[in-house]
Structure 1
């Protein structure tokens, strides 16, 4: 345990050192200043608290259906939400679906005690893969009901290594482990855990709600006109290299690209290299004339999920880097999906590939080979779209199972 605690202190020291130059490191540090005082001042000492912890924005979206179901069905509880990462906290710090939002403190033994003294949770819920050893140990000592949801376990993870004793011990803190698949349940059974329930992935519930609540985006509707639209979400440089070629070879198709990061150099490259003409979303007005311009760059946040509703095909970025981004937001609208080769750690992406609703591509020729039949064969496009839509519908319902079990 000393090695874990030493590693955390070293991590905090590196973050503080980097905070002078790096914005995220600065936010990470500044967001935790006077944390316990702010918590004590904000949290009603008479409230019954459900504490939900997420790592960042993706896990927040995974936990959001649970938050909203608890808010609706159990108003007797106040909800405390914590983030570890600034990329989640800074975007959702004004989220109105909970009562209190804070950063999670560094997981030292003293911080764990101080945090729980201030929060006093009756129920603790961790989303997907957050295993903070001191906090879990303190929750177990205080006999706080503790759960992990939408978790997924793989044989190569630390829990199944000879040196993973501390991590296996941490799993004993959970009253129930809600996992995504049978494989995870089987692996945990090998470790002697029988308090495991295969509930599925709450992201399916979340994207279904997003689709039902999709916004009307007038700019996209007018840009699309009577053409078919190809939407590429969360793209990086290598993705955009392929997409520029695809655009320039398909002048009859409209494209919308939402870069993962609003890097001006990359946006300028998209503007200059699209032969059919391009413009930025943030520069469009009700008087903008789109004409035959082929590319709209979505240089703002919060609209991508709704924009998929206007598309016929989709591409998800990140697959030429550490891993692809969210495929379910596109699939829930019944869109065929393409992405780069680094997708195998995402179960839904593997499933969609197996079903024929998605295609991994390694180069431009592979992207073109996937796209042309879907462009030219309407029957094939409709069949592929139905497969994607049906897959997302079949996997809904995890939120109901989780909330019903926790609050039985």
Structure 2
């Protein structure tokens, strides 16, 4: 099985290399892993994140380590360009790298260079050679905000190698009881339900949200519908609401902000009512437009404080993006049908604070109910915010355990 694992990784690398000549993300993935010179540390704390979403998810624990152990060196690795390219200069780390491909030699070289005292991986990404090397060196490895599902390879008859990978983990901090039961079914009991650190992150953000005067001026005391992290399939649906509700303002914050993607979004919208955020510095009169397109990265988590209803993108593709950022501000959240992998989305639906829609008819029915019944919308808002507040605390659980187990 290990032979197949190693072969699979090399095939994956070759495919990325093939795409790198014409795909920007693939190009960054390859280039970022070439000619790296590692800073050698006498000791460090290693955080790994698959992408930007996992960075934000694990950030409360990262920030806590930085504040409690300011003299410790912190190393961050990312698998994806969407994390590395945006957070490569974060002051929370002493060094930030792309994670080299998971080979035995790469794992030995990298871990020898950074010399971690402990390693923390957020949610997922289970790499055999890195985990094995940490285990061989006696370095404790923690998984935080982990979540497991029955269809994962760990729980299949052919998942022996992947179960071995889990055996290298010192302790699992998982999101739910189902994950505990699934791990126990393969004789892994070094786990506890800590909850999801994203709740800590989004709640802290909501309490100390960055003020955006331009957005307040754009809203102009009107109702505001925010479509966040959207893809074209999402945008086509939300666009149908614009003319139906001329007294509402709309903000689109697309997941991808290339010129091509922004132009495609604009093609779905009434042409005389759209302003791009980048235009506002020179054309403040455009604040009177009904629609504002956010053509930068990093504003969305603060934008939600001005919203009244949120649509979260991704639900017509691989899966929805972060619903909790909007819920923390008390917004009803609407999203597409692909949410099965997201516990918080299922929880919000069960509470009546989240709504999954499959087409424009269901979207309009949901929006009509929220817009035309203020009492109902207010009740939904209260449930949404309350759900986030009730689930804060995972960081404290994790830090309490790790500080007892590891002397820094």
Q: Which residue of 2 aligns with 1:355?
A: 351
Question: Cα distance 1:30–1:276, how it changes in 2: closer, same or farther (>3 A)?
Answer: closer
Q: Is 2:375 the counterpart of 1:379?
A: yes
Normalised by the size of structure 2, how large is the TM-score? 0.95
Q: Is 2:325 the counterpart of 1:324?
A: no
Among residues 335, 338, 341, which one is paired with 1:345 in the alignment? 341
How far apart in 2 are the matches of 1:279 and 1:403?
45
**Is contact 1:256–1:296 with CA below 8 Å preserved after alignment?**
yes
Structure 1, unmatched stretches of 5+, are none
**Is contact 2:41–2:114 with CA below 8 Å preserved after alignment?**
no
How far apart in 2 are the matches of 1:64 and 1:347?
19
Q: Which residue of 1 aligns with 2:390?
A: 394
Quote the offset at 1:19 in angstroms: 2.0
Among residues 77, 88, 97, which one is paired with 1:82 in the alignment? 77
How far apart in 2 are the matches of 1:77 and 1:356?
44
Deviation string 1:229-258 (CA, Å, 9 cap, x unpaired) is: 111101111111111111110001111111
Q: Is 2:40 the counterpart of 1:43?
A: yes
Q: Which residue of 2 aligns with 1:284?
A: 280
How far apart in 1 are the matches of 2:260 and 2:121?
38
Size of the aligned set, in residue pairs, is 402
How far apart in 2 are the matches of 1:159 and 1:365?
39
Alignment of 1:285-300 (within 5 A): 285=281, 288-290=284-286, 292-300=288-296
**Is contact 1:270–1:278 with CA below 8 Å preserved after alignment?**
no
Q: Which residue of 2 aligns with 1:68?
A: 63
Deviation string 1:331-385 (CA, Å, 9 cap, x unpaired) is: 0000001111111111000100110001111111111111112112211111100
Alignment of 1:5-24 (within 5 A): 5-24=6-25
Alignment of 1:192-341 (within 5 A): 192-271=187-266, 273-274=269-270, 277-285=273-281, 288-290=284-286, 292-341=288-337
Quote the offset at 1:399 in angstroms: 0.8
Normalised by the size of structure 1, how large is the TM-score? 0.95
How far apart in 2 are the matches of 1:246 and 1:325?
21
**Is contact 2:17–2:26 with CA below 8 Å preserved after alignment?**
yes
Quote the offset at 1:200 in angstroms: 0.6
Quote the offset at 1:17 in angstroms: 2.6
**Is contact 1:251–1:276 with CA below 8 Å preserved after alignment?**
no
Structure 2, unmatched stretches of 5+, are none
**Is contact 2:224–2:251 with CA below 8 Å preserved after alignment?**
yes
Quote the offset at 1:285 in angstroms: 2.6
Q: Which moved more, 1:269-278 or 1:59-68?
A: 269-278
Among residues 177, 180, 187, which one is paired with 1:185 in the alignment? 180
Quote the offset at 1:44 in angstroms: 3.2
Corresponding residue SS for 2:225:
strand
Quote the offset at 1:309 in angstroms: 0.2
